[in-house]
Amino acid sequence: MIQTPIEAAPAPGEAVEIADGVLWLRIPLPMVLDHVNAYALRDEDGWTLIDTGIDTAQTRALWEAVLEGPLRGLPVTRLIVTHHHPDHVGLAGWFQERGVELYMTRTAWLFARMLTLDAQVLPTDETLAFWRSAGMDPALFEARRAERPFNFADMVHPMPLGFSQLREGGTIRMGGRVWDIRFGHGHAPDHATFWSQDGELVIGGDQMLATISPNLGVYATEPDADPVGDWLDACAALLPHARPGQLVLPGHKLPFTGLPDRLRQMIDNHHGALARLRAHLEKGPKTAAECFPPLFKRKIDADSYSLALVEAVAHMNHLFTIGEVTRERRDDGAWLYRLSR
Q: Is residue 69 part of a domain?
A: yes
Condensed to tens digits (0 to 9), the pLDDT of residues 190-225 reads 999 999 999 999 999 999 999 999 999 999 999 999
Q: Is residue 35 part of a domain?
A: yes
Q: Is residue 306 part of a domain?
A: no
Residues of the domain holding 20 = 16-119+151-280
Condensed to tens digits (0 to 9), the pLDDT of residues 104-118 reads 999 999 999 999 999
* Ordered strands of the 16-19 beta sheet: 16-19, 22-28, 35-43, 46-50, 76-80, 101-105, 164-166
Residue 266 is part of a domain; what is its CATH number?
3.60.15.10
Q: Is residue 70 part of a domain?
A: yes
Condensed to tens digits (0 to 9), the pLDDT of residues 273-327 reads 999 999 999 999 999 999 999 999 888 888 889 999 999 999 999 999 999 999 9
Note the residue count of the chain: 341
Residue type, 75: P
Q: Is residue 294 part of a domain?
A: no
Quote the number of domains for the chain: 1
The pTM assigned to this predicted structure is 0.96
Q: Is residue 10 part of a domain?
A: no
